[in-house]
Chains A and B, each alone.
Chain A
């Protein structure tokens, strides 16, 4: 019962956040105007006044950005839940097995190469942007493939090795990224920070539609694995005793997490902490049952990232603060507060 109400509350929260976030910015659009413009698209007229410019800003600039924020937040949150389920540890993070650092290494590499090698110089901005997305995504898949391969012995995936291989590859990718930024010039460096600190600045409808399948597939498939993920918490072997094909489960989870995190990093750079904090908060409210945890984390992740983006684009307007900084700065105190609260609960239990 509590779970159902939490889900409903989170849906309401998401709608409110979406309407507010779409209205906030250099041109203010009141919530009722946002609703009126959106309903007008669906053919319903509301007696609320707005001008064409307002509608254009909302539909062409704000809305893709808000929706992209929701998609990225959802993707990061559910892949966080999936990774934590896989490692049977609430502290696991999608970045843990090197997905995001591999992706950002590739992005930074491309940025520096494009501007230093005339052969690769593509004049128009748009193809260059998509090329970058594609290569970043390939980087994410490649690193997670290497890490996954390293941890397979005789057809079995050893989770401890997976974790260690991920840590090692993470360190390597970070170091190489640092090396490249060390030799990069100012302009390259600014472009590179986009990928290492994250931004939703690249939002367009095309990006939104490109990102959509990569988020939608994990969102639709992961809840089907909820039972398996729960059983997995008992232990790998116990899950097998309950009839679960553990080998397939592990492969599937790594693939789904890589899909969504890889796609998120490719369009928005590295945004830390979301995959860790969102599931953590939801676990505190409705427990660890993945049936509700996945859905609720997806909803809450969407709201949280959209809000973080509002902060990132308004706090030092007209400039933008990288959203990764916002999630880290706002996320850490919340996280520590939660830890302290849980510590108190544990003490009262004991």
Chain B
């Protein structure tokens, strides 16, 4: 699916959050959203998810207004991983992942649904946690279970071949509590899905993960889109300095097809030049 928007703005009360954003997010690639805390990344994702409506302008999903798509229909093609979950009632991990299948069945899950739940859990390597209560897990494990739920939500049962590729995956800091191995696993999975035709949008803080996994980067600062384009074009010292107020050096290690960003050596002592 292609998401397009032209000059959309978003206000909360009198507070401008996003200002005149124009963008096209295409299928088949990973689009990473970068920016300082409070730059409007999460609000941006909320608009893409259909949760919030832009105050001015509209977001088009292929040729339809995203915010006029009925919720149940949207739920079968768009999944969102949020930053935090506050589970009030205790559920087992399998029950949580099964919630991802809720948009697909009425009252009883089919054998397909059960199989998809198990496969999604295996993909995120949480199959050993099936019966464990969600609350008893560590932060990273919880994040992997939620990711498995999100994957299960977008999956088409194999019986209905060929699976639709009109899928939108939105991840808000999916790796924030994961260790390095699972960070790689999670984002590799996101990239693999994009190669199957999914549209994938990820908010990240780690510039190096962005450098490794992003095809396209949108760089936000105080609600404005200050740069967008191919990852390598955006990850330049000048744009990073503008967005984060921090000097970086972009290194190109041998045998790697992505750059590595480190704090500029002359500025390591007061690495922060934020104003």
Contacts and interface: CB of A to CB of B under 8 A. Distances in A.
Asked if A and B bind, the verdict is yes
Interface of A: 84-85, 87-90, 224, 227, 230-231, 233-235, 237-238, 240-245, 283, 287-289, 291, 349-350
Contacts of B99: 230-231, 234, 242
30 contacts: A85-B89, A88-B87, A88-B89, A89-B89, A227-B102, A227-B107, A230-B95, A233-B87, A235-B85, A235-B86, A237-B51, A237-B82, A238-B85, A240-B51, A240-B71, A241-B75, A241-B78, A242-B75, A242-B100, A242-B102, A242-B153, A243-B102, A244-B71, A244-B75, A244-B102, A287-B90, A287-B91, A289-B91, A349-B136, A350-B136
A235 B71 contact: no
Contacts of A231: 99, 102
Contacts of B95: 230, 287-289
Contacts of B133: 349
Contacts of B107: 224, 227, 291
Nearest to A84: B89
B250 interface: no
Contacts of A242: 75, 99-100, 102-103, 153
B96 interface: yes
B72 interface: yes
A219 to B, nearest CB: 16
Contacts of B91: 230, 233, 287-289
Interface of B: 49, 51, 71-76, 78-80, 82, 85-92, 95-96, 99-100, 102-103, 107, 133, 136, 153
Contacts of A84: 89
A243 B72 contact: yes
Contacts of A241: 49, 51, 75, 78-80
Contacts of A244: 71, 75, 102
B96 A234 contact: yes
B102 A288 contact: no
Nearest to A289: B95
A245 B74 CA distance: 12
Contact of B71 (A87, A234, A243): A243
Nearest to A237: B51
Contacts of B88: 87-90, 233
Contacts of A350: 136
A87 B153 CA distance: 25
A243 B72 CA distance: 4
A350 B132 CA distance: 12
A238 B99 CA distance: 10
Given A238-B82, A243-B72, 9 more contacts: A89-B88, A90-B88, A224-B107, A230-B91, A233-B87, A243-B74, A288-B91, A349-B133, A349-B136
A224 B107 CA distance: 8
A295 to B, nearest CB: 12
Contacts of B72: 243
B124 to A, nearest CB: 17
Residue with the greatest number of chain B CB neighbours at <10 A, chosen from A85, A88, A238: A238
Nearest to A92: B88
B135 to A, nearest CB: 9
A90 B51 contact: no
Nearest to B105: A227
A89 B88 CA distance: 5
B48 to A, nearest CB: 12
A287 B86 contact: no
